[in-house]
Amino acid sequence: MENDNRTRAAKPQMYALVQGSTRGPLDLVLTADQPRPEVGPREYLIRVGAAGVNFADVMQTHGTYAGGPRPPYVAGFEAAGQIVGVGPEVQDALPIGTLVIGAGPGAFAEYMVMPAAGALPIPAGWSETEALGLVLNWGTALAALRPLGAVTPGEVVLVHAAAGGVGQAAVRLARHYGATVIATASTHKHPVVTALGAHHVVDPARPDLTEEIMRLTGGVDLVLESVGRTTFETSLSVTKAFTGRVVVFGAASGDAAVTTDDLVFRHQVQLKGLHIGALAATAPAIYRALLEELEQLITQGVYQPGTPQIHPLSAGPAVLEELKASRTHGKHALDPRRLS
């Protein structure tokens, strides 16, 4: 027992944000004695330089993210950082010291483990913070628009929550692929979304949201639905029958329900679900093609280095509360090298 205690005491420790309950972001606690994770057979050990903040993090703090961790756990799942360890079964491993962007458990910490198959080298000349959003935000937006949404030039695309990380990427990408973009965002965020290239921006809180979108468009070809309960009926109602597509990848306002009766008699639309992690795991060929397209977008200058708002690690609970209350826009990130 004494030797076991000595082994535990000698294990490297780190600073991390630990979620202790399902009561929300304010139960995130900064700890100094979290054990540093051990790299698995097919993983990289990453020294985190910047951790992305996403609405899924808010959902996890409430225990509402399907398949998410149960407390207590080190929070966060998107990070950019430096490879400092390589699992023994990683094939064609990137060299120690390579800067990568990807996802894995426990990103709100000084160190995390990341599945090697999903780690993407950061473009040359980019910093860790500038690369945040490449895989999750831009990857999700691109997947929703292209392999799932099959957007074509001249079509009308409705992007909900257009001031958020995925929403901003979606507006820019939809414009790049020749679509007319209708966006929803709170009124005070309209200038941000308009500057991205949206043709029309509508406040989702207006009571005649469905009627206004129909007035502007006459019907939408593709909807990117990430809000859920408060916008879902509108999304189905404004989508063109039979040819229209609705890609669902979030439920920020809560779950929405759809019945077979809805799809047969009221809304004859193509309804598709998207989770970027599931896409990578179950359809690797599509995911690899997605990453290749992202690299082309970088080369073409369509996707440029990001400019997330950076906060110290200790600010994590407050940032998540702001995100939960829809008081943020754009990408936010935590820097584990800054504690306060």
pTM of model > 0.85: yes
- pLDDT mean over 31-46: 97
Q: What is the pLDDT of residue 79?
A: 97
For position 5, what pLDDT does the model report? 52
What does the alpha-carbon distance between residue 337 and residue 188 come to, in Å, rounded to a whole number? 33
- Indicate the DSSP class of residue 51: E
Query: What pLDDT score was predicted for residue 7?
Result: 47
Q: Is domain 137-278 in CATH 3.40.50.10860, yes or no?
A: no
What pLDDT shows up at residue 1?
47
pLDDT digits (tens, 9 = 90+) for 127-166: 999 999 999 999 999 999 999 999 999 999 999 999 999 9
How far does CA 308 lie from the centroid of its chain? 13
In this prediction, residue 340 carries a pLDDT of: 85
In this prediction, residues 199-226 reach a mean pLDDT of: 98
Q: CB neighbours of 157 closer than 8 A, spacing ≥ 6?
A: 145, 149, 151, 170, 174, 179, 180, 181, 182, 220, 221, 222, 223, 224
Domains 12-133+306-335 and 137-278 share a fold: no
pLDDT score, position 117: 85
Residue 191 has pLDDT above 50, yes or no: yes
Per-residue pLDDT band for 312 (boundaries 50, 70, 90) equals very high
Q: What is the mean pLDDT of the chain?
A: 94
- Answer yes or no: are the C-beta atoms of 200 and 171 closer than 8 Å: no
pLDDT at 68 over 90: no
Query: In CATH, what number does 12-133+306-335 get?
Result: 3.90.180.10
Other Cβ atoms less than 10 A from the Cβ of 151: the count is: 22
Helix (H) or strand (E) holding 156: strand 156-159
Per domain, the residue ranges of the chain are 12-133+306-335, 137-278
